A and B are shown apart, each in its own frame.
Chain A
């Protein structure tokens, strides 16, 4: 196993010295300690996340410092991303009255998740940070606190809690309805928000690992027939890398979209 951890993810050498055959990738493949041990280990996703924060801060400051009326290429890119989140997500979903307060949060979420996801297929890094469950949980915690606090501030605690239950239903239905609605707002929403991002990144990286490791094994340890078949495996890895890029963008978009939807649900009056 130590051999797996030393190599980069795409050329992970197989522990095949014993000649015991192919090992399919397991979740342990995702644990990459750099230094330290036990609870205080500094791991590879932490390094990647730190790198992403430095990169995003540098890019946003450098590209918008000399903001011109006629934007250059870099400024245009930042403005497109900002416009996409501000007008395409926040204003359309939260409504033009209150959306401005939440734009900084939504824009940060979108950019951080997008860059961290894309790190999953950018060659020297190749590690989607969000495939470790702790990172999506931390981001979800921020969204969870924000939408509850925003709702409670707007309506007051009591009115906020009763406002979650739809009114005008027959009495017996409420026995079923009240637990379901509260479970949805307090458990299912944050749980699915975190698990969706985690699951997509985890499964996608696992798939790439499987194709590349399988192809590598067939190429190095198989007979002549298997060596030819390994081309197919590497081609699939290439195709799925392009597919992953789409999924990674989509997941950043979906996370931000759902965060905006939850905030909108919490502060809107009609519920």
Chain B
């Protein structure tokens, strides 16, 4: 079997952001379900949180290709 072990690092780095993004959107859905008129305001905050949490996974992906 061939391949690059650095890719495993990407797999590990995706765990944390995966959980984090799940929590963010769970909170977002909860908020909208309780108060549908707040959707517009919550959406921006949720997307911002998603973008920040995602950064770690992206680091993992990029580093997997940098350290080949």
1/0 per residue, CB under 8 A from A, across B12-47: the answer is 000000000000000000000000000000001001
A196 touches B44 (CB 8 A): no
* Chain B residues with CB under 8 A of A254: 47, 50-51
Asked if B61 lies at the interface with its beta carbon under 8 angstroms from chain A, I say yes
Asked if B8 lies at the interface with its beta carbon under 8 angstroms from chain A, I say no
**Closest B-chain residue to A27, C-beta based?**
B65
Asked if A203 lies at the interface with its beta carbon under 8 angstroms from chain B, I say yes
A261 touches B48 (CB 8 A): yes
* Chain B residues with CB under 8 A of A203: 61
- Nearest Cβ in chain A — how far from B8, in angstroms? 15
* Chain A residues with CB under 8 A of B57: 199
A195 touches B47 (CB 8 A): no
Bin chain A's interface residue count. Answer: 10 to 19
B47 touches A196 (CB 8 A): no
B residues contacting the other copy or chain, number (CB 8 A): 14
Asked if A149 lies at the interface with its beta carbon under 8 angstroms from chain B, I say no
* Chain B residues with CB under 8 A of A192: 52, 55, 58-59
CA A200 to CA B58, docked complex, whole Å: 7
B51 touches A196 (CB 8 A): yes
- Nearest Cβ in chain B — how far from A255, in angstroms? 9
Main secondary structure on A side of the interface with B? helix
- Nearest Cβ in chain A — how far from B68, in angstroms? 9
A195 touches B62 (CB 8 A): yes
Q: 8 Å CB contacts to B: which residues of A80-111?
A: 92-93
- Nearest Cβ in chain A — how far from B11, in angstroms? 13
Asked if A253 lies at the interface with its beta carbon under 8 angstroms from chain B, I say yes
* Chain B residues with CB under 8 A of A253: 47
27 A-B pairs in the complex with CB atoms less than 8 angstroms apart: A92-B44, A93-B44, A192-B58, A192-B59, A195-B55, A195-B58, A195-B59, A195-B62, A196-B51, A196-B54, A196-B58, A198-B62, A199-B57, A199-B58, A199-B61, A199-B62, A200-B58, A202-B61, A203-B61, A250-B47, A254-B47, A254-B50, A254-B51, A257-B44, A257-B48, A257-B51, A261-B48
Binding site for A on B (CB under 8 A): 44, 47-48, 50-52, 54-55, 57-59, 61-62, 65
Given A93-B44, A198-B62, A254-B47, 16 other A-B residues pairs in contact with their CB atoms under 8 A:
A27-B65, A92-B44, A192-B52, A195-B58, A195-B62, A196-B54, A196-B55, A199-B57, A199-B62, A200-B58, A253-B47, A254-B50, A257-B44, A257-B51, A258-B48, A258-B51
Binding site for B on A (CB under 8 A): 27, 92-93, 192, 195-196, 198-200, 202-203, 250, 253-254, 257-258, 261
